[in-house]
Every structure is written in structure tokens, then in C-alpha cells.
């Protein structure tokens, strides 16, 4: 009961779907937490909302399915296609922007702070913050909305982080950077003068000063993104970029909405990314 991960490239080229972190927690661990000791089997490529699972457990049905009747979770060895409950908010992770959707749901649902790092007195936090051990929030940082930041990060000075964002361990978000509704993996640096919105950045990414993502079409329609030979409607009115592991951008790189950069690729100073960069 697994899904072809190729649709999630470039993120799936360097890790399995179940290993991908949502709010700094691997998807497989989310499955273990939501299923608990219920004995329910969860599809490794599914995002399961707790409310959906709670309804499923009391429904008497064999399987929790998506709108296409594909099983997200089930009781027993195999799901019974004649005994199903359609999920309201759970879904398959078919494409890379689905990780962003899962991250939004998880981070937005956080209800209390968890602070293990240091916050400078001049920093402002307006929302729920999970802050990892050894992380420093420097002067002039403004955090608005729910945000998760891992361990041993340097945030600031003078940057703006908006929900619903998660940032992995050992990251640097620096001077005059705005991060909005992003999923950023560990050891990634967005150091200077950048706007990154509605995007996913892989591990060990370094964005040159002035790297900017566009995330809104002029006509206000949903963004579309190329997967294989097909142009897929993302269902998102705001959508930035998907960047794989070990990508480096030159200074003042501008990225069109919905474009993807494969692992280990680079851009030159002043480049405008109009198409996916595969190599």
C-alpha cells in the first residue's frame, strides 16, 4: 500500500517519503504518534489528521480512504474496499508541495510554546514557538504566527519569520531575510536580504544574498508545476519553490513560482529561474 515517490522529486531523490520531516519530526514518527496503540496500519505516504483517525476508529469501517478511494489507514492485513470512511482532511503525499501542506496543518495546530533556546529581549514573538536547544534568536527578530525552529540555529539579527514555518537544526536565517510559510530542512542557510515564501528547502542548501522567490501569479490563479511530462495544478494560490539538498544559488537569483531545483544544482549571480533546474 505504497505510492510511487517519483512525483515528489526532487525531495524524494535523497530520502524516503516516510523519512521526510514535517515540523522537524519524520513522517513515520507522526504515523506512530497518531496511531498509538490502536493497531491501525498507516500508509507510509499518507498524512493523517488526528480528527480523521478518531472518527475512523469509532466508525466501524475497515479503511480510511481519500477522495479517490485509496486507503490511507486500515484495520487488519488488508483494507476492505466495501467498508470505507472518506477522510475530511487527510491525504496522500503525491507531490512535493504536499509536504508543505502537511507542515501547514501540523504547525498551525500547535497549542503551546516549547522554548529550549535563547531569545534576545529585543526580539518579538507573536504566536506559538517551538525553539530547540542551543538556538539563539538575535536582536531585531520578529516572529509572527506559529513557528518551529530546531536545535543550534542562528536566527537574525533583524529578520522576519511568519507562520506556518518549520526550520530544521543548525540553520541560519540572517539579516533582512523574510521567511513565510516554509519548510526548511537542517543545515540550510538563508543568510542575507532574501524573501522565501511558501517553499520547501532541502538539507545543506545555501541561498546567496538577495535570492528571492515569487509565489503569486498576476492573475491570481492556482500555480501549476511540471511533474514528468505533465503540468499539474498544485491547488495553491501561493506557491514558491521546491529546492533539493545541497543546492547553492548565486546572489540576486530570482525564482519563478512553482519551479524546482534538483539536488546539487547551482545558479549564477543574477540568474532568473524560469524552468526547473534538473542538472
- Same domain for 89 and 169, yes or no, is no
User: Are 59 and 130 part of one and the same domain?
Assistant: no
Average pLDDT (162-186) is 98
- For helices 27-35 and 50-57, give the axis angle rounded to 10 degrees: 40
- Whether the per-residue pLDDT at 25 is higher than 90: the answer is yes
Residue 106 included in any domain: no
Within this chain, do residues 88 and 175 fall inside the same structural domain, yes or no? no
Task: Mark 112-137 as b/e (b = at least 16 C-beta within 10 Å).
Answer: eeeeebebeeebebebbbbbbeebbb
Contact 187/202 with Cβ under 8 angstroms?
Answer: no
pLDDT digits (tens, 9 = 90+) for 127-164: 999 999 999 999 999 999 999 999 999 999 999 999 99
Q: Which residue has the cell 537544526?
A: 169
Q: Can you tell me the distance from the alpha carbon of 147 to that of 143, in angstroms, rounded to the nearest whole number?
A: 8
153 and 69 in one domain?
A: no
Domain end residue (candidates: 62, 94, 126): 94
Average pLDDT, the chain: 96
Residues 143-152 as b or e (16 or more Cβ within 10 Å = b): bebbbbbbbe
Domain boundary residue, one of 59, 94, 129: 94
Q: What is the pLDDT of residue 44?
A: 95
Asked if pLDDT for residue 4 goes beyond 80, the answer is no
| Per-residue pLDDT at 71 exceeds 90 | yes
Cα distances (Å, whole numbers) of residue 191 to 78, 83, 132, 176, 177: 49, 52, 19, 8, 7
pLDDT 10s digits, 107-120: 999 999 999 999 99
Same-domain check for residues 186 and 265: yes
Is residue 103 in a domain?
no
Domain count, the chain: 2
pLDDT digits (tens, 9 = 90+) for 215-262: 999 999 999 999 988 999 999 999 999 999 999 999 999 999 999 999
Mean pLDDT of 87-101: 97
pTM, to two decimals: 0.95
Do 180 and 258 lie in one domain? The reply is yes
Domain region containing 184: 114-273
Question: pLDDT band for position 6 (50/70/90)?
Answer: confident
Contact 26, 48 (CB under 8 A): no
Tell me whether residue 243 is in a domain.
yes
On whether residue 101 sits in a domain, the answer given is no
Residues 139 and 236 in one domain: yes
Q: Which of 30, 31, 172, 192 is catalytic?
A: 192
Whether residue 3 is predicted with pLDDT greater than 70 in this model: the reply is no
Whether 192 is a known active-site residue: answer: yes
Q: State the CATH number of the domain containing residue 214.
A: 2.160.10.10
Amino acid at each position: 500500500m505504497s505510492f510511487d515517490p517519483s512525483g515528489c522529486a526532487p525531495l524524494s531523490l535523497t530520502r524516503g517519503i516516510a523519512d521526510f520531516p514535517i515540523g522537524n519530526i519524520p513522517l513515520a514518527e507522526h504515523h506512530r504518534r497518531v496511531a498509538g496503540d490502536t493497531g491501525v496500519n498507516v500508509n507510509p505516504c499518507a498524512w493523517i489528521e488526528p480528527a480523521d483517525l478518531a472518527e475512523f476508529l469509532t466508525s466501524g469501517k475497515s479503511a480510511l480512504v481519500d477522495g479517490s478511494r485509496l486507503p490511507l489507514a486500515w484495520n487488519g492485513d488488508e483494507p476492505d474496499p466495501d467498508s470505507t470512511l472518506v477522510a475530511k482532511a487527510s491525504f496522500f503525499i503525491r507531490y512535493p508541495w504536499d509536504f508543505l501542506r502537511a507542515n501547514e496543518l501540523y504547525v498551525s495546530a500547535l497549542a503551546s510554546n516549547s522554548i529550549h533556546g535563547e531569545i534576545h529581549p529585543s526580539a518579538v514573538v507573536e504566536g506559538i514557538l517551538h525553539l530547540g536547544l542551543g538556538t539563539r534568536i538575535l536582536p531585531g527578530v520578529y516572529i509572527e504566527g506559529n513557528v518551529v525552529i530546531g536545535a543550534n540555529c542562528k536566527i537574525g539579527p533583524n529578520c522576519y519569520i511568519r507562520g506556518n514555518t518549520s526550520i530544521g537544526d543548525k540553520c541560519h536565517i540572517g539579516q533582512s531575510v523574510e521567511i513565510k510559510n516554509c519548510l526548511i530542512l537542517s543545515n540550510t542557510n538563508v543568510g542575507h536580504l532574501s524573501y522565501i515564501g511558501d517553499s520547501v528547502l532541502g538539507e545543506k542548501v545555501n541561498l546567496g544574498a538577495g535570492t528571492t522567490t515569487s509565489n503569486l501569479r498576476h492573475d491570481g490563479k492556482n500555480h501549476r508545476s511540471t511533474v514528468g511530462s505533465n503540468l499539474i495544478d498544485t491547488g495553491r494560490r501561493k506557491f514558491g519553490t521546491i529546492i533539493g539538498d545541497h543546492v547553492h544559488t548565486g546572489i540576486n537569483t530570482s525564482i519563478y513560482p512553482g519551479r524546482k531545483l534538483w539536488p546539487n544544482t547551482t545558479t549564477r549571480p543574477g540568474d532568473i529561474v524560469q524552468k526547473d533546474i534538473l542538472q
